Each structure stands twice: as structure tokens, then as C-alpha cells.
Amino acid sequence: MSFAYFDNIPGENNDPKVDQPRMKINTNSISSWIDVDHVGFRQINGGTHRVCSFAGFAAPSAPTGVQSVAYPAAGVADTTKPQFYFRNSQMILPLSLIKAYGIFIAQVGPSYFNQVNMNATITKSSNNYTLTVNSNIITGNSPGILVTASNPYQVNYAYNANVLQLFDVPINSFVTVVFYQI
């Protein structure tokens, strides 16, 4: 989508009728341009955002002082897809570091009480649990994984191809798993 816009009008010596078509186009383009990501004219809360859309990767230079910038750029594990970063004068922070997360109780018929980007199915075999991250979330087989259980637990896991196996989880523990990757 693009919006036509004419600079330098009305021209200094032009009859207004000469510039009228281009001025009208500008009038309408301004309104349409604002409407892309913002609440536009004649609407409540005009000027606020609906979304913040990014057309591709960005590479902002380092801000100074109290300036900062949030932007998309290539990931490290997958350089073809955007990740979301925040840059200030001193550092770049990866905002989209957490890729998936879930909480469940280690018991018969386990299911998530709260999760993102996890397949809903958890399988139990003895005190071992198999969890699956949805496809296209993790690249490769080396995401960061943090596991905490509410009952005493020496964390013991294996991960391969989106599948996390937790071994010897104490029964009736609340278990939290978090996957990290940038």
C-alpha cells in the first residue's frame, strides 16, 4: 500500500486551481496514512496506536541520552525471521526472548493451567513427562530451558525436536517450564 503525496504545494505563484487536485490528494493521503497504524481523525482517542507494524528489519544507530528505540531485526538462531529488540544508549535488549512457557501439575492426566506456544498434550509415563513446543517456535535443538517444580526436584531433562522430556518429577508438583531463544 502506498499513498501519493505532493511536496511544495501550493506553489508560490500558482493559481490555487492549479494546485487544487494535488492538495486534495495530500489531504486524503494524510488521513489514510495515519489510519494504517493509528486511530485516525474523527475517532475517539485519535492519534493513539492500533498496532505498530514493521515492514522489515531495521538497524537503528545507538540512541543518545534518554532516547531509545524498539525495532525488529534478525534473530540469532533464525536469521530470516524478525525478533523484537530494544536499544538505549548503552545496550541492546532482546524483548522476544521467551519463546514458550507452561505450568502444569505433575499428576495423572496433566494439562496446562497457563501456557503460550505449547501443544496442549502432556504425556505421563511413570514420573516422566513429555511436553511439546508448537512447531516453528524454536529453531534447532538448543533453546534455553528453565524448569522449576514446587516439590524438591533435581531438574533432569532432555530436549530434541520440540519435545521436552522431564524425568523423575515429584508427584503433585506444580511445574513451570520456560523456553528461551533469540
3-state secondary structure of 82: strand
The continuous run of DSSP H or E covering 120 comes out as: none
Among 8, 45, 64, 125, binds other proteins (CB under 8 A): 45
Of the candidates 89, 121, 150, 156, which one interacts with other proteins according to CB under 8 A?
150
- The Cα-based distances of 141 to 6, 115, 121, 160 in angstroms read 52, 20, 20, 5
Compute CA distances 159 → 10, 17, 24, 104, 142, whole Å. 65, 70, 60, 18, 8
Rule CB under 8 A: is residue 144 a binding residue for other proteins? Answer: no
Within 61-80, the residues that bind other proteins by CB under 8 A are 67, 70, 72, 80
> What Cα–Cα distance (Å) separates residue 125 from each residue in 128, 168, 169, 170?
5, 10, 11, 13
Closest approach of Cβ 122 to other proteins, in Å? 13
x/- binding map, residues 84-123, to other proteins, per CB under 8 A? x----------xx-xx-xxxxx-------xxxxx------
Q: Does residue 162 touch other proteins according to CB under 8 A?
A: no
Count CB atoms within 10 A of the CB of residue 99.
21
CB contact at 8 A, 48 and 39: yes
Confirm or reject binding of residue 42 to other proteins (CB under 8 A).
yes
Binding positions for other proteins, rule: CB under 8 A = 16, 20-21, 23-24, 27-28, 30-31, 34, 38-57, 67, 70, 72, 80-84, 95-96, 98-99, 101-105, 113-117, 134, 136-137, 146, 148-154, 174, 176, 178
